[in-house]
Amino acid sequence: MTSVQQEMPVQRTPLYGFHVERGARLVPFAGYEMPVQYSGGILKEHLHTRSAAGLFDVSHMGQIVLRPRSGRLEDAARALETLVPTDILGLAEGRQRYTFFTGEAGGILDDLMVANRGDHLLLIVNASCKIADEAHLRRHLSGVCTIELLPDRALMALQGPRAEAALARFAPAIVSMRFMDIRTLPMLGMPCEISRSGYTGEDGFEFSIAAPGAEALARALVEDTSVAPIGLGARDSLRLEAGLCLYGSDIDPATTPVMAALEWAIQKVRRAGGSRAGGFPGAGIVLRQLADGAPRRRVGIQPIERAPVRGGAQLFPDEKTETAIGIVTSGGFGPSAQAPVAMGYLESNRASAGTRIYADVRGKRMAVQVCDLPFIAHAYKRN
């Protein structure tokens, strides 16, 4: 069999027809045909999400159910804690948390969301990792849990300051939800798993629905003039402004949670001295870095000039030194920040906000400054 024959065919999400109707420019992404932008363009879509409400198709992501064979959810939670450094056992019903699978060297195999749904855990994983994640779960947890991938469900996100009002027309109960709450509520007569979460830094919701009902719901939502469909291009610039990591760019198996400045997702109970400290792959390395620091650190990077610095640009301490001290992992122009924005990794002793360094941009050293993340304030509804 040739390599061409071995390639998987590009798949389409349940909203493919919806995208085509609205003139989306479709590109291959993580094995799917996905809209990178619509006719209005990335800049307009970005700003619309920040000012009103943007509708995103994220059906390419993996939805996985972990169901305890014993019938006791705590057994599934304890089992999952052997693969992630987050407190899953303490996660209340109707709540979700951000976490990551770690490898034996402490690096991040994937980042994901975990929700407590009462009798099962619902995991949302990255599209590019979902096959490997399912295999990882089956290899380690199948004795304690049944593992079910949900390929026949669509996943959408509605993000922005008008998201609550737009979605409440179909599910009025969402107005009482806080950031990271999750509920099963009907929309258009169909049960939906709705969480108050997202990937833009804005208030908003993500909702899973059976695939046959996805297009009808998307069409109903965009009848509201405050709601516009948004593609992958604006999704990337929105998450970058919000200081959120993209798997495969900003985090990967060579990056530990401490390097990535994601230690906030490791609760005290899983740290040294906690009642369930360690016990996950690479725990010795991660716990040691929590105590002593990591050799490099993810930071915000603000160019001094107006030219953006792109991912892959090397970072140097001055205009002449030949040895790089870091690298940019994501970069571009931030429409809401009205300035170039980037993030990347630096040697930890140079990672303090305000430090001036230099980025190699097309062979020229350009002055940049280390800054705090995010570039725009998060607008999550926490109360």
Q: What is the pLDDT of residues 227-238, one digit of tens each?
A: 999 999 999 999
Q: What percentage of the chain exceeds 90 in pLDDT?
A: 97
Kindly report, residue by residue over 133-173, the tens digit of the pLDDT. 999 999 999 999 999 999 999 999 999 999 999 999 999 99
Average the pLDDT over 89-103 and give the result: 98
Same-domain status, 164 and 55: yes
In a domain, 118, yes or no: no
In a domain, 277, yes or no: no
| Residue type (1 letter), 67 | R
Question: Residue 74: what pLDDT?
Answer: 98
Q: Which of 215, 241, 267 is the last residue of a domain?
A: 241
pLDDT-derived band at 7, boundaries 50, 70, 90: low
Distance CA 138, CA 329 (A): 31
Distance CA 40, CA 24 (A): 10
Same-domain status, 157 and 54: yes
Same-domain status, 224 and 358: no
CATH classification at residue 382? 2.40.30.110
Same-domain status, 157 and 220: yes
Q: Which of 241, 257, 284 is the last residue of a domain?
A: 241
In a domain, 133, yes or no: no
Distance CA 243, CA 377 (A): 10
Which residues face 112 on adjacent strands?
A: 99, 125
In a domain, 351, yes or no: yes
Q: Cβ of 98: how many Cβ atoms within 10 Å?
A: 15
Question: Residue 381: what pLDDT?
Answer: 97
Q: Is 70 helix (H, G, I), strand (E, B) or coil?
A: coil
Distance CA 381, CA 203 (A): 6
Question: Residue 343: what pLDDT?
Answer: 98
CATH classification at residue 20? 3.30.1360.120
345, HSE (Cβ side, Cα atoms, 13 Å): 20
CA angle 337, 343, 348 (to 5 degrees): 135
Q: Would you call 182 exposed, middle or buried from its count of C-beta atoms within 10 A (0-12, 13-18, 19+)? A: buried
pLDDT-derived band at 3, boundaries 50, 70, 90: very low
Same-domain status, 214 and 318: no
Which residues face 361 on adjacent strands?
A: 364
Residue 90 structure tokens: 């303490």
In a domain, 135, yes or no: no
H or E stretch at 283:
helix 283-292
Kindly report, residue by residue over 191-235, the tens digit of the pLDDT. 999 999 999 999 999 999 999 999 999 999 999 999 999 999 999
Q: Are 315 and 358 in contact, with CB atoms under 8 Å apart?
A: yes
Kindly report, residue by residue over 39-58, the tens digit of the pLDDT. 999 999 999 999 999 999 99
Do you find a cis peptide bond into 374, omega within 30 degrees of 0?
yes
Which residues face 149 on adjacent strands?
A: 64
Please tell me the total count of domains within the chain: 2
Mean pLDDT over all residues of the chain?
A: 96
Range of the domain at 358: 295-383
Kindly report, residue by residue over 301-344, the tens digit of the pLDDT. 999 988 999 999 999 999 999 999 999 999 999 999 999 999 99
Q: Which of 241, 262, 277 is the last residue of a domain?
A: 241
Q: Residue 4: pLDDT above 60?
A: no
Q: Is 159 helix (H, G, I), strand (E, B) or coil?
A: strand
Same-domain status, 20 and 167: yes
Question: Residue 306: what pLDDT?
Answer: 86
Same-domain status, 160 and 229: yes
Same-domain status, 303 and 379: yes
In a domain, 136, yes or no: no
Same-domain status, 230 and 369: no
Q: Residue 5: pLDDT above 70?
A: no
21, HSE (Cβ side, Cα atoms, 13 Å): 9
Distance CA 215, CA 318 (A): 53
In a domain, 47, yes or no: yes
Which residue, chain included where needed, has tokens 């700003």? 47
Which residue, chain included where needed, has tokens 């007569």? 189
Same-domain status, 303 and 383: yes
In a domain, 339, yes or no: yes
Kindly report, residue by residue over 253-301, the tens digit of the pLDDT. 999 999 999 999 999 999 999 999 999 999 999 999 999 999 999 999 9
Same-domain status, 358 and 210: no
Distance CA 337, CA 331 (A): 13
Q: Are 208 and 153 in contact, with CB atoms under 8 Å apart?
A: yes
Q: Are 330 and 342 in contact, with CB atoms under 8 Å apart?
A: yes
H or E stretch at 125:
strand 121-125
Same-domain status, 353 and 221: no
Question: Residue 9: what pLDDT?
Answer: 84
